[in-house]
Amino acid sequence: MGSHQDHFFQQVSNVALPTAWPRCPSASSASTVPALPAVGPVPASVRARCSRTGAAPAGPARRRPATGGRQSLALLRQLDAACASADDLEAAATASFNQHPDAGIITSFPGIGALTGARVLAETGDDRSRFKDARGLKAYAGAAPITRASGKTRSVTRRHVKNNRLAAAGYIWAFSAITASPGARAHYDRRRDAGDRHAAAQRNLFSRLLGCLHHCLVTSQHYNEATAFPARTATLAAA
């Protein structure tokens, strides 16, 4: 058994290494390689390989620098560019909206600013004959519920077929109006006390505000809190 092992190791020792074996960095090429942080001593296997190929290792093993920081900086630059573009679009939309004759009427409502008002104006248009009455506008915006009755069964559900962009703007509008208008807050609280969930009560408030907006646009007058919510205004006056 021992003779076979000696013969095997003798054959292995006589095997020539491949000529294309990767060479370790030499002293002449060290000047062109940037300095990288060391990670530890050169393993013995690497030193043995270099000694067989005729080159000596240049020093401790090196590693490539982490690229996570550069990727984060690149993403931050993209985010800054996107924010700058959004700011430019906001300024352009606000400037264009403020030039419209209906801008003053729309922004007179509580909870609606220039951007939300621009979205409402863009989705509803300025053609007074487009909607015959406020009910058509509410149905178009998804603020009016759908009532189904069959025999003794009656159900009131929200409208799924609607202008989603106008409905999204109306959600923001009604949410902001709750804190900007005492009448809107009282209307919301009254719907909540009646058993409506938050979304349903806010959608009902949006329907109320949308009806007031239609009336103000048709009659060319600004929002009036006492006219929109007379009950709440009378309560505050009595107090």
pLDDT at 133 over 60: yes
Question: Domain count of the chain?
Answer: 1
Decide: 135 and 144 in contact? Cβ < 8 Å: yes
- Enter the tokens of residue 150: 């069959």
Cα–Cα distances in angstroms (integers) from residue 149 to residues 27, 128, 179, in the given order: 91, 33, 36
Decide: 119 and 106 in contact? Cβ < 8 Å: no
Q: What is the mean pLDDT of residues 139-162?
A: 88
- How high is the pLDDT of residue 17? 47
- How high is the pLDDT of residue 8? 45
Per the domain annotation, does 146 fall within a domain? Answer: yes
pLDDT band at 157; cut points 50, 70, 90 = confident
Per the domain annotation, does 59 fall within a domain? Answer: no
The residue ranking higher by pLDDT, 1 or 110, is: 110
- The H-or-E segment that residue 157 falls in is strand 153-157
Per the domain annotation, does 50 fall within a domain? Answer: no
- How high is the pLDDT of residue 15? 47
The residue ranking higher by pLDDT, 145 or 86, is: 86
Count of beta carbons in the 10 Å neighbourhood of residue 7: 9
Distance CA 118, CA 103 (A): 8
Per the domain annotation, does 37 fall within a domain? Answer: no
- The H-or-E segment that residue 149 falls in is strand 146-150
Distance CA 117, CA 90 (A): 12
- How high is the pLDDT of residue 135? 93
Distance CA 112, CA 170 (A): 9
| Predicted confidence (pLDDT) per residue in 25-84, tens digit | 444 444 444 444 444 566 666 666 666 665 555 555 555 556 678 888 999 999 999 999
Per the domain annotation, does 164 fall within a domain? Answer: yes
Per the domain annotation, does 214 fall within a domain? Answer: yes
> Which residues, in sequence order, are CB contacts of 158 under 8 Å at separation 6+?
142, 145, 146, 200, 203
The residue ranking higher by pLDDT, 88 or 231, is: 88
Q: What is the mean pLDDT of residues 86-110?
A: 95
In our burial notation (b when 16+ CB lie closer than 10 A, e otherwise), range 40-51 reads eeeeeeeeebbe
> Which residues, in sequence order, are CB contacts of 182 under 8 Å at separation 6+?
225, 229, 232, 236
Report the candidate in 62, 33, 61 with the shortest Cα–Cα distance to residue 45: 61
Per the domain annotation, does 79 fall within a domain? Answer: no
* Residues of the domain holding 146: 96-238
Per the domain annotation, does 31 fall within a domain? Answer: no
Decide: 138 and 203 in contact? Cβ < 8 Å: no
The overall longest dimension of the chain from CA atoms, in Å, is 116
